[in-house]
Structure 1
């Protein structure tokens, strides 16, 4: 579309007034009076197309990051399983604490306490290992890069701007193909085949671009619809782990509890060992 826009504005439109035996001012008035959508669209192309290029360029630049983000938590588990990465360890630790309390009240503190502490160490090690196995730091950083690129677009204002741009370009395309080009062909006293040949010979980028509009614009319409419908979901996804915290910090939500679950039980086990009675065991005389 950029090549079409450049040639349309720099060559085609300046050449048409002479071909139609009009002054440039008369031609501009002719367009404005008879083909308002085309006149409006052409006047905004230099503003709209850079925004479209930014979207396309962002999608290309972040394709690898989208692939990583799509694998949260893994390539074979949906992202809806992420809460279970916290719920399951939490449930295990809650059960261990409840079991320890129950058996302590029954006077079986020592053996059960050790088992609970070792199990806690296992949960901590699992959390630490999960951070590496699931590539949490890399995936979190990928999400942050996606947010930096598309965050301004996936807002109400951003989605409205994309839709407005799309409406302008679509209206321009529809009127250009349905009314403007046939009218120009008639004014130049050419049939459709002759006019197409004239455009291909003199303005090939415009001819090619116009021929591709009905293929390109539906794709952009689909992209605009996706942005509009996914604004809320995008903002929710980008608020992981919290709204004001980068997603790349998600790894610490595994690492810090993992470290605590490794160190705290280890300290308790050492203390229990230190409290063992020292010296030789008393002999039992039968």
Structure 2
């Protein structure tokens, strides 16, 4: 009986031991399996995230097509804006050309006297060879003047367009280049003479006379009797077609030397003597038909 009890106890102990080992092995195996499974899932998740990131960096064909369309539209808008800027520059230049010989002095009131005789509106369509020939200029000279005028207008357009595109329209560089173009007119004047140059300015629609707008009290102009409305034809023997030319003439030669001013007053020619130097007058640039 004791022996049987001992055997049963041994068997129960052995069974419990085996069961414990098995349970321990099984549980450890599950832990490893779960660990492996979890690691696998983590790796799989990381792989999916990487793939998703790659997909976001690669544009679809539809997106590429949209970007191409937007780029083309942007280029069209830029080209359109540049064209508008060019047209604006040309319009501004046209306004300046109609007033190219205007004096730098202040403009007069609308009701002030600005010279004798009616003012002629600028010629339409630019310089005309037929008008020059009709006024006494020979055909060869007329054609040469027209060619020079056309070249001058194109050079001004090109200068202003370039300055507008490159951003130096209202700069000292632009003023220097514009002055250089004006110098080309001086050389033309020397080639054809004052009378033909006068006709050239008039037929091209430019101002060709300088008028006295007002006289400053106590000035040299007042002392010699210059009046508002006088047209200054020449200063010290040099014809004056613009306010700038008159200003330059007053600075030439010796200060205070006596010079002669030729002018037109009420249709009559007059000569006045004045010391060379500032006259003390406000000027208007006007356009009158040559005699």
TM-score with structure 1 setting the length: 0.20
Which structure: larger Rg?
A: 2
Which structure features the higher share of helix residues? 1
